[in-house]
Amino acid sequence: MRRTHLNAHSLRKFVLLSGIAVLAFGSMAVSKEWVSGIIWPEPAVVVPGPVGGPPSDAIVLFDGKDLSQWNGADKWVVEDGAASPRGGEIRTKAAFGDCQFHIEWATPEQVSGSGQGRGNSGIFFGGQYEIQVLDSFENKTYFDGQAGALYKSKPPLVNASRKPGEWQTYDIVYNAPRFNEQGTIVKPGYVTVLHNGVLVQNHTEILGETAYESPPILKPHGPAPIRLQYHGNPVRFRNIWLREITEPSPVRPE
């Protein structure tokens, strides 16, 4: 009896496995690749730079030597590979729209002031949307004004600040808002920000100019210089570069 039982069990197992094999082979034999029919241009080859350094297609805005890519730098000093304000903001000579932007910054090691008065600067996209630079290491201020904030519009998701004097990084993706010919917005702008590699703005919608004394209001604009703020504090900057974002133009089927 036992022998008969074993045989029946083995037979069932054999039949089951055979069935799986036939199904698997069958599905392989009849599967056909799906293709969209869209003809995409081949993605360009970009050689990544050293960690934090500019990739091969980057526009280098400051490499530690001079501020020749900027206007208004007469009161800025360049020393030890870093640029630092002693008065006045600087603006890129070129205008930029959508871009991937990298910058490294350090607030003064010697702490003075508090709140917004401590290591304050900022990076403005579209000439008017500020990603706040501030010493936010154990330094409270209003949340939508601390480091990594889209100023007065959205606080950072977390506070990823390093200590005063330490180098910090921002990697920012800026998508400019789009306006039609009548000046009406047709596509919002967005910012995504990594602070020291930590996500602090996740595709955050730009609501308008980020002013201290007024609510954000959107006004039509095109590509604009990127600005670095002078707010009375000698914040240091280095290794500034960007990559302009160009979307591919595929050929779509009729």
Cα–Cα distance measured from residue 76 to residue 86, given in angstroms and rounded to the nearest whole number: 6
Cα–Cα distance measured from residue 104 to residue 61, given in angstroms and rounded to the nearest whole number: 12
Asked if 111 contacts 165 with a C-beta cutoff of 8 angstroms, the reply is no
Region of 210 on the Ramachandran plot (φ > 0 left; ψ -120 to 50 alpha; else beta): beta
- Asked if 97 touches Mg ion (CB under 5 A), the answer is no
Size of the site for Mg ion (CB under 5 A): 3
- Asked if 210 touches Mg ion (CB under 5 A), the answer is no
Which range, of 17-25, 40-48, 119-127, 135-143, touches Mg ion by CB under 5 A? 119-127
Among 72, 85, 119, 122, indicate the residue that binds Mg ion (CB under 5 A).
122
Residue, CB closest to Mg ion: 122
Q: Which residue matches tokens 């290794």? A: 239
Nearest distance from residue 148's CB to Mg ion, in Å?
Answer: 12
Cα–Cα distance measured from residue 33 to residue 63, given in angstroms and rounded to the nearest whole number: 47
- Asked if 120 touches Mg ion (CB under 5 A), the answer is yes
Binding residues among 16-35 for Mg ion as defined by CB under 5 A: none
Per DSSP, which regions of the chain are E strands?
59-62, 70-71, 76-79, 82-85, 90-92, 99-106, 121-125, 129-133, 168-175, 178-179, 185-187, 190-195, 198-205, 227-228, 236-244
Nearest distance from residue 131's CB to Mg ion, in Å?
Answer: 9
Cα–Cα distance measured from residue 90 to residue 67, given in angstroms and rounded to the nearest whole number: 9
Asked if 93 contacts 227 with a C-beta cutoff of 8 angstroms, the reply is no
Binding pattern for the stretch 220-239 against Mg ion, x by CB under 5 A and - elsewhere? ---------x----------
Per DSSP, which regions of 22-106 are E strands?
59-62, 70-71, 76-79, 82-85, 90-92, 99-106
Nearest distance from residue 186's CB to Mg ion, in Å?
Answer: 29
- Asked if 145 touches Mg ion (CB under 5 A), the answer is no
Nearest distance from residue 110's CB to Mg ion, in Å?
Answer: 19
Cα–Cα distance measured from residue 139 to residue 161, given in angstroms and rounded to the nearest whole number: 10
- CB nearer to Mg ion: pick between 132 and 239: 132
Nearest distance from residue 168's CB to Mg ion, in Å?
Answer: 14
Nearest distance from residue 75's CB to Mg ion, in Å?
Answer: 17
- CB nearer to Mg ion: pick between 122 and 164: 122
- CB nearer to Mg ion: pick between 92 and 229: 229
- Asked if 148 touches Mg ion (CB under 5 A), the answer is no
Nearest distance from residue 57's CB to Mg ion, in Å?
Answer: 29
- Asked if 146 touches Mg ion (CB under 5 A), the answer is no
Question: What residues does 71 pair with on adjacent strands?
Answer: 91
Give contact residues for Mg ion (rule: CB under 5 A).
120, 122, 229
